Structure 1
Amino acid sequence: MKIVIANKSHTIYADIICKTIEDAAQVRGTGIAKRKPAYITTKIENGNAVIALDGDKFAGFCYIEAWGHGKFVANSGLIVHTNYRNLGLAKQIKQVIFKHSRTKFPTAKVFSITTGLAVMKLNSDLGYKPVTFSELTDDQSFWNGCKTCKNFDILTRTSQQMCLCTGMLFDPKNNNKEASKEVKENVFKKLKNLKQNLFLKKDKNVK
């Protein structure tokens, strides 16, 4: 298994990457924005992605997005093919893309929005901390990318202040790893309760 910074030779995997992301969204039943092969290809050609390969077989992927003129970057589209899950590959990919992000954008704040508890744990281990959406990028291009997510109506109703995703941030100016485990667990509990309430309200509206 190799995890490498993607280059033009890896654009042949763009279709399977998008298909794997779409399939994962359907299985999980959670909000995951769709990606198009052309967009993934651009990220690969610009050197803003990492890919995991088992020989010539696609195993996993993640890419970097820059927002607010490079003040913020996000590690997006983290995905592992179904044949390679439960092997710790997602954690390895996350570590490589995070290091690559810090190398290319050393002064940028690295952020993430996700509904996945596993991704939250990976982020926390790297030094991210839970934050409100107001502390993330105000670049509207980023939030427009949520339009293909099935929960976009919640984001719209709350004026982009909250959704079912949790916002997390790594600020290179702060030593986020010093945050106590107790504080992080309390924040996660509050966010979890908020999301449960949002789910209940959404179900009532559907009925």
Structure 2
Amino acid sequence: MTQDELTVEVASEKHLIYVDEILKTIEDAAKVRGTGIAKRKPEYVAQKIKEAKAVIALKGKRFAGFSYIETWEHKQYVTTSGLIVHPDFRGLGLAKRIKDLTFSLARTRWPHAKIFSLTSGAAVMTMNTQLGYKPVTFAELTSDEAFWKGCDGCINVDVL
């Protein structure tokens, strides 16, 4: 399989049919030691899709990957979150394509916001560095309590 067979696009209502599979893929990944992805409810993921605050990757009609964006502190901060690639599509550079479009989407919609990606996984840290993200301390992130409450669903919440 090649990257040319995979489409990466801003999600829309036509992609709501993938919510359950997105959540299952996230749940399965969250069980893997060292993967710090937070579980989300179906309504939350569906809302991100409806608001065009998500990116989805497909091979034809088959789900391949996903990520979404969220704003904090009156849109001063934007986080790119929930990056997941289905196991069948890993190793193809798909995560980087999803992350790149997610970043572009955030920058287009909120050009003056600080964009960040919270991760505890080495692979995502490496990719973030390659994409130009710079590491910062937790103190430099949003102080929005709703953001930190959202971290409760992450297996690594105790280290945040």
Q: Same fold (TM over 0.5)?
A: yes
Corresponding residue number in structure 2 for 1:40: 45
In 2, the alpha carbon distance for the partners of 1:94 and 1:101 equals: 11
What SS class does the counterpart of residue 20 from structure 2 fall into? helix
What SS class does the counterpart of residue 98 from structure 1 fall into? helix
In 2, the alpha carbon distance for the partners of 1:70 and 1:151 equals: 26
Corresponding residue number in structure 1 for 2:152: 147
Tell me, yes or no, if structure 1 residue 82 matches structure 2 residue 93.
no
What SS class does the counterpart of residue 118 from structure 2 fall into? strand
Gaps of 5+ in 1: 156-162, 164-207
1:122, CA displacement in angstroms?
Answer: 1.6
Tell me, yes or no, if structure 1 residue 134 matches structure 2 residue 139.
yes
Tell me, yes or no, if structure 1 residue 27 matches structure 2 residue 32.
yes
Between the two proteins, the alignment pairs up a number of residues equal to: 155
Corresponding residue number in structure 2 for 1:14: 19
1:147, CA displacement in angstroms?
Answer: 1.2
Residues 104-155 of structure 1 deviation map (CA, whole Å, 9 limit, x = unaligned):
1100000111111111112112221111111000111000011122333x35
What SS class does the counterpart of residue 130 from structure 1 fall into? coil
What SS class does the counterpart of residue 29 from structure 2 fall into? helix
What SS class does the counterpart of residue 137 from structure 1 fall into? coil
Mapping for residues 88-107 of structure 1, pairs under 5 Å = 88-107=93-112
2:114 to 86, 109, 113: 109
In 1, the alpha carbon distance for the partners of 2:155 and 2:94 equals: 27
**TM-score normalised to structure 1 length:** 0.72
Residue 73 of structure 2 aligns with an amino acid whose one-letter code is G
Corresponding residue number in structure 2 for 1:57: 62
RCO comparison, higher one (Cα < 8 Å, 6+): 2
1:30, CA displacement in angstroms?
Answer: 3.6
Q: Which runs of 4+ in 1 moved over 4 A?
A: none
In 2, the alpha carbon distance for the partners of 1:150 and 1:60 equals: 20
Gaps of 5+ in 2: 1-5
In 2, the alpha carbon distance for the partners of 1:122 and 1:103 equals: 21
1:10, CA displacement in angstroms?
Answer: 0.4
Residues 70-90 of structure 1 deviation map (CA, whole Å, 9 limit, x = unaligned):
000000000000110111110
Task: Return closer, same or farther for 1:38/1:111 CA change in 2, 3 Å cut-off.
Answer: same
In 1, the alpha carbon distance for the partners of 2:95 and 2:131 equals: 13
**TM-score normalised to structure 2 length:** 0.92
